[in-house]
Amino acid sequence: MLKETLIEATRAGAEVLTSYFNGSFTISNKEGINNLVTEADHASEKAIIEVIQTKFSDHFILSEESGELVQDSTYKWIIDPIDGTVNFANGIPICCVSIGIEKEGKMILGAVYNPFMHEFYLAEKNCGATLNDKRIYVSKKAELIHSCLVTGFPYTYLDMPNGPLQVFEKFIRKGIPVRRLGSAAIDLCWVAAGRFDGFYEHKLQAWDSAAGFLMVEEAGGKITDFEGNYYSPYQPHLLATNGLIHDDMLAVVQGGEIKGNLKA
């Protein structure tokens, strides 16, 4: 019943997204320039929470717009009603609903749904990850220099050693393609599906990565923080790869150089 409710809640949120998309809705700004929240974010969140609370009224909920709905429960739902809000607000169909479920502090289920591309990702601990009910796996590229990467940038720039622009520059100066889609949840799912070989970001919230990081793990990938420690969605730094290029990418985000050169 837990997985079925997760799927139902994710679809309920996505139905709201499609009803508002390219329509007229209010937009406001949170902390940082262009850190948007829309009327659709709130409506999607409301639809998701209603489904959850109908079936599991005693479960803890952490959602991007409402914050914590505290319950004394071993289960926690971590919700991003629209991941990729700037894309959504501008009519760019790279956005999704993302929901992860923790039990006793460990992620056990995750769903990410982009209704505009008709892609529903689902992961269950120790049971694998799927895209539209078909198993997915990370890529098998073994060389960072020949990889295709993806990243994101924070709304408030982090002036720090090896910050987002410094790391980005290292990759592009070597000719390594690095994309910026604007949705961390989709970035992680596309690593899980083998479309990207690696993803890194310097400043994420739990709702950005809760579902996606389980997706990468269950697809056979590796995900850590920037120190190489086991990843927790409650800290900001994330590195997710196919596992084969992980150590080389980790060295770069820590300040090292990229080995090798692309051949013309």
Distance CA 24, CA 140 (A): 43
List alpha helices for the chain, DSSP H: 2-20, 39-55, 85-89, 164-173, 184-192, 206-218, 246-253
49 contacts: CB under 8 Å, gap ≥ 6: 61, 63, 66, 69, 79
Distance CA 6, CA 49 (A): 10
* Percentage of the residues of the chain whose pLDDT score is greater than 70: 92
The domain limits of the chain are 2-135, 144-253
Retrieve residue 68's tokens. Answer: 């914590």
Q: Name the nearest CA neighbour of 249 among 171, 190, 183.
A: 171
Residue-wise pLDDT for 131-141, tens only, equals 999 999 999 99
Distance CA 101, CA 110 (A): 6
What is the CATH number assigned to the segment(s) 2-135? 3.30.540.10
Say which CATH architecture domain 144-253 belongs to: 3-Layer(aba) Sandwich (3.40)
Q: Are the CB atoms for 198 and 147 separated by under 8 Å?
A: yes
Check if 2-135 and 144-253 are the same fold: no
Residue-wise pLDDT for 61-92, tens only, equals 998 777 777 888 999 999 999 999 889 989 99
Distance CA 97, CA 91 (A): 16
pLDDT above 50: residue 264: no
